[in-house]
């Protein structure tokens, strides 16, 4: 039996008061406790940014990777040991900007890990520059006349690339978010949740209130999570209303199912067989 407190640690949290990361952290702990997991069962992998610090505030195993590189680091770890329960914490800059190529490839590999993208649509750690998901025209200290590029749509992109679990969460709805995280972890294959969150310090446009006025639950609609067409349509909703929940889910063979020596016991579990190696090599 584990509880939220099981995952608490005493490392001083350095996020701004009111940061949207706090409810995400809470939802993660809730999801782990609900599944009866212990700290020893979990490997959090993260990149750089405020979201990348998440594993530091949670009692469990951790691989804190470089900017944008959480997904390949997690992929390597999962290849070595398929027993690992890996959750990746990344942000909009980390995952969709610096790590964009890795995001595409993780989807294509269908590696069995869960990606949580803390999407506050701005760069927080570096103080307010535009991120890939920043709304076009939003002024920033570096782009005072407003950003000039159209925003990156992670959900549509993930769907077009064949992602098998695509969901959107919101830091203002932690109960739902905890459920989504548990569902994503239960999904066999690559699962992603783009979590909308306010940045109280640097995003004056997409505030908690701004989100609350727009979000609605897909669960309360006729949305069919097995329909790619419906998911694609919902993935484009943003300005007026924003769908929350699972947009699309479909299990297909995972990377480990497809690759020889990965579908069985973990790669690291095999003993070194000197005779077999010698016979093969010489």
Partner 1 sequence: MTTDLTLKIGGEAGQGIQTIGTLLGEVCHGAGLFTFSVDDFESRIRGGHNFNLLRISDAPLTAMGNRIDILVAIDQKTLALNRENLSDTAVCILNSSAREESTPSTLHLPVAALAKEAGNVITANTVAAGAALAIMGAPFSLLKAVLMERFSAKGDRIVDLNVTAAQMGYDAAQGIRLTKTLDWNGKKGDRTLMTGAKAAALGAIASDCRFFSFYPMSPATGIISNVVPFSKTLPLVVEQAEDEIAAVTMALGASFAGARSLTTTSGGGFCLMTEALGHAAISETPLVIINAQRPGPATGMATRTAQADLLFAIQASQDDFPRFVFAPSTPGATFELTKKAFTLGEKYQVPVILLMDQYLTTTRTTQEPFPDLAEPGTFIITQDDMDAPETYKRYQFTESGVSPRALPCMGNALVRVLGNEHDEAGHITEDPEIRVRMMDKRNAKLAAMKAEMQRPVLAHPESKTLLVCWGSPGGVVQEAGERLRDQGFDLGWMVFEELWPMDGEQIKTMIENKTLILVEQNSTAQLGKLIAQETGIKSTLSILKYDGRPFFPDYIMDKAKEIIA
State the residues that interact with partner 1 by CB under 8 A: 11, 39-43, 45, 53, 55-56, 59-66, 69, 72-81, 83-85, 101-102, 104-105, 259-262, 267-268, 270, 272, 274, 276-278, 280-282
Supply angle C-alpha 132, 136, 142, rounded to 5. Answer: 70
* Cβ atoms 44, 116 nearer than 8 A: no
Shortest distance (Å) from residue 12 CB to partner 1: 9
- 74/177 with CB nearer partner 1: 74
Non-local CB neighbours of 149 within 8 Å, separated by 6+ positions: 130, 136
- 27/48 with CB nearer partner 1: 48
Q: Please give the structure tokens belonging to residue 183.
A: 């569902």
Shortest distance (Å) from residue 82 CB to partner 1: 10
- 68/154 with CB nearer partner 1: 68
Closest to 18 (Cα-Cα) out of 160, 141, 155, 198? 198
Shortest distance (Å) from residue 176 CB to partner 1: 28
- 79/246 with CB nearer partner 1: 79
Whole-angstrom Cα distance, residue 68 to residue 151? 18
Shortest distance (Å) from residue 160 CB to partner 1: 17
């Amino acid at each position: 039996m584990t509880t939220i407190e099981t995952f608490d640690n005493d490392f001083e949290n350095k996020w701004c008061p009111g940061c949207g990361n706090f409810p995400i952290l809470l939802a993660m702990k809730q999801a782990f406790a609900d599944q009866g997991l212990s700290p020893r069962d979990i490997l959090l992998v993260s990149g750089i940014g405020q979201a990348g610090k998440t594993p530091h505030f949670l009692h469990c195993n951790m691989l804190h990777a470089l900017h944008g590189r959480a997904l390949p680091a997690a992929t390597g770890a999962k290849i070595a040991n398929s027993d690992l329960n890996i959750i990746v914490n990344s942000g909009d800059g980390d995952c969709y900007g610096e790590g964009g190529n890795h995001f595409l490839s993780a989807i294509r590999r269908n590696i069995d890990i869960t990606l949580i993208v803390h999407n506050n649509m701005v760069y927080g750690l570096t103080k307010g520059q535009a991120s890939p998901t920043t709304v076009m025209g939003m002024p920033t200290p570096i782009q005072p006349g407003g950003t000039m590029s159209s925003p990156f749509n992670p959900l549509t992109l993930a769907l077009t690339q064949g992602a098998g679990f695509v969901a959107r969460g919101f830091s203002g709805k932690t109960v739902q978010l905890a459920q989504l995280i548990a569902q994503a972890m239960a999904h066999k294959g690559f699962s992603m949740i783009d979590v909308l969150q306010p940045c109280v310090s640097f995003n004056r446009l997409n505030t908690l209130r701004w989100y609350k006025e727009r979000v609605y639950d897909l669960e309360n609609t006729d949305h069919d999570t097995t329909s790619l067409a419906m998911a694609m349509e919902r993935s484009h909703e943003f300005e007026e209303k924003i769908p929350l929940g699972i947009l699309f889910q479909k299990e297909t063979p995972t990377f480990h199912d497809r690759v020889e020596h990965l579908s069985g016991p973990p790669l690291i579990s095999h003993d070194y067989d000197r005779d077999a190696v010698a016979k093969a090599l010489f």
